[in-house]
Amino acid sequence: MARGTRFAQQLYHVLLDLVLPPRCVVCGRVETWLCRTCAQKLPLADRPVCPRCGDAWEGPGVCDRCRTMPLHLASISSAFVYEDAVRDAIHALKYRGGQGVARPLAERMAEAWQVHHLAADLLVPVPLHIDREAQRGYNQSQLLARELAIQIGLPLAELLLYRVRATASQTRLSPRERWSNVKDAFACATATDLTGLRVTLVDDVATTGATLDACAVALLARGARTVNAFTLAHAV
């Protein structure tokens, strides 16, 4: 999307939000983009998926893509499927300043964490490029990771991983372009030593897994024993 178009769209939302206060994307109640009652009712993903990449897959074993092109990540797990109210809530979180939805959504991530029997020594949010974060005012993955870390009682390393360079938004790219767009885009802070640690990356949406896998490469290079990814939602 052209920068001008994106700006116009953001301006439109800002103006709209001045006139109309936030409303729960499910029940329409005013003052929040997702009320806690509705967040509690969102159905956790329970479709059959590839145990490696988390894509919809009936099995047996891993999906065709993972057989031919294995990820550096040990696995990608997600609390929800990216559809309906979940998609609307994430849209509010990312594009409409709805930071308040991070907590009720992270509470459900904590529930999914238990359901999936996940384990880790350290949580690491997927970083935004500094320009994008400045534009948005926050990093939605960091907000989710902070709340999740509190809920499940794990340490969070917010400044460990960073973007080496700005990358084009993944949303309009083909799957192949997404992989080359983020290759070598991430690095760890100097003196980072992750030897023997099980690290879990936290992000809002997993689509092709390209961004998450590029992060995993940077973490594995610093000695991480395994890198898994846990996202709020997984593409349909």
Interface positions with Zn ion (CB under 5 A): 24, 26-27, 29, 35, 38, 50, 52-53, 62-63, 66
**Residue 54 or 127: which CB sits closer to Zn ion?**
54
- Least separation in angstroms between CB 187 and Zn ion: 26
Distance CA 152, CA 231 (A): 15
- Least separation in angstroms between CB 193 and Zn ion: 30
- In Å, what is the CA distance from 112 to each residue of 108, 118, 205? 6, 9, 15
Backbone angles phi, psi at 45, to 5 degrees: -60, 130
**Residue 28 or 153: which CB sits closer to Zn ion?**
28
Tokens 């309906």 — which residue?
84
**Residue 89 or 149: which CB sits closer to Zn ion?**
89
**Residue 6 or 29: which CB sits closer to Zn ion?**
29
**Residue 62 or 185: which CB sits closer to Zn ion?**
62
Cβ contact 50:66 at 8 Å: yes
- Least separation in angstroms between CB 38 and Zn ion: 3
Cβ contact 202:230 at 8 Å: yes
22-56: buried (b, 16+ CB within 10 Å) or exposed (e) per residue? bbbbbeeeeebbbbeebbeebeebeeebbbbbbbe
- Least separation in angstroms between CB 196 and Zn ion: 26
- Least separation in angstroms between CB 97 and Zn ion: 18
